Amino acid sequence: MKTKKKVFYGWWVSLAGGANMILSSGPTFQVTSTLFRAVEDEFGWSRALVSGVASFGRFGGALLGPLEGWMTDKIGSKLMILTGFLIGGLGLVFFSFINNATQYYLAFFLISLGFSIGGFTPSMVAVNAWMTQHKSTGMAMVIGGSSLSGIFVPLIVWGITNYGWRETFFLIGVITIIVGPFLAKVIGRRPPSYLYQTDSQETTNFIPQHDFTLSEAMKTRAFWGLAITHGLTNISVGAISAHIYLHLSDGTGVNLSPYTAGFVLAIMAVFAFTFQILGGILGDRVNKLAVLPVFIIIQATSLFVITFAKDINGAIIFAVLWGIGFGARTPIFHSLRGDYFGRKHFGTISGVMSFPMAMGMMVTPVLVGWAFDVRGSYQFSFIVMAILCVVASLSVLFVKKPQIN
């Protein structure tokens, strides 16, 4: 009788990491602009004040990014996820009771801090530890969860419209607190020693790579080239997550109905998820440095499109192009870090390398909101971010695989 081959556990880690990102990035990334519309309508605050909470919320993540990576390397993904999801879930519950701007900013700070601790970094560190032959694909499954959360935007809009934003986010908070321990258990399992030879439970020709320390990594051109590329491309990610729903539904923007705007975001999420998976598969099979600039240029093109979009057709073209460009380039970029710098100090290196990106994502939402209040539109901001993506595609050309001295 033929024995049924077990599914390699690393795939379960990758799948759970994707589920982690659906919950941890949804409230702070994919659905924030829908929430901003509801808060703006209820309190009558300025666009800069409403969207500025995204900047304030990311303040903790920006400052703690390097520390989070180091802590994950030291205490493991399990405890990080348990702690982070508890803080984030309680922050969401608190958010549903806010009545003034101070409470608004404090609640979002707790949400962002919690999900920064328990979300992306511990999931990616776990996948990098488990996956050797299919690193890009495994990381794509984690990153794809962030985009997949966008398909729930129409559901969130429905919940806000029919039950209120307070009730909707209270429920999300409760779900987060309940699900967190289950995700921590799956993702937090440490890999056995044989994985340093294979991730398919079969004999392969995998050659263990050098594990760079942080100080070694920071002396390489690859570290700084990737850090600059990551920072420049993600400036637009921070702005889009905070403002795209507002732009789509503004009378001075594309002027879509709330449900139609939510539908466009769902399209963007589906394409981003699809191309994050395809980008991961592609990254396991081709020269990552050769294809990365192509997808960054597609991301830049999408920003030019949304700058001048005036109807549903232009909005959908933007959603498709953004999904392709942002979607495919993200897993390719992150797997490059694992390929170049190894496993042992991956969390620490990723945290420090991501600091410029986190700072950019921290300041961009409020700056773009301020520019909107001054200019009455997002056109100038979108054009600037598109140009920064073009510059990022050029900075990749200066990256080369680091050599062991």
Backbone angles phi, psi at 382, to 5 degrees: -65, -40
Cα angle 129, 131, 132; round to 5: 100
**CA–CA separation, 288 and 294 (whole Å):** 10
Packing angle of the helix pair 153-163, 258-283 (nearest 10 deg): 150
Quote the crossing angle between the two packed helices 47-75 and 120-130, to the nearest 10°: 40
CA dihedral 67, 231, 249, 310 (to 10 degrees): -170
User: Domain-by-domain residue ranges, the chain?
Assistant: 9-191+211-398
Using alpha carbons, select from 38, 67, 66, 386 the residue that is nearest to residue 239. Answer: 386
Query: What is the rounded distance in angstroms from the CA atom of residue 96 to the CA atom of residue 281?
Result: 40
Neighbours of 259 (CB within 10 A): 12
From the options 2.130.10.10, 1.20.1250.20, 1.10.10.10, 3.40.50.2300, give the CATH code of 9-191+211-398.
Answer: 1.20.1250.20
DSSP state letters, 126-146? HHHHH-SSSHHHHHHHHHHHH
How crowded is residue 294: how many other Cβ atoms within 10 Å of its Cβ?
Answer: 14
User: What's the whole-model pTM score?
Assistant: 0.72
- Digit-by-digit pLDDT tens for the chain (405 residues) are 455 667 788 888 888 988 888 887 766 566 676 777 788 888 888 877 877 776 665 655 556 666 777 778 788 888 999 999 999 999 999 988 999 988 988 888 888 888 888 887 888 888 888 777 777 788 888 877 877 777 777 777 788 888 888 998 899 899 999 999 999 999 888 877 655 544 444 334 344 467 788 888 888 888 888 888 888 988 888 788 778 888 888 877 888 887 788 888 888 888 988 888 888 778 777 788 888 899 999 999 999 999 998 899 999 999 999 999 998 888 888 778 777 887 777 777 877 887 777 777 777 877 888 888 888 888 899 999 999 999 999 988 888 877 766
Please check whether residue 147 is in contact with residue 286, taking contact to mean a CB–CB distance below 8 angstroms. no
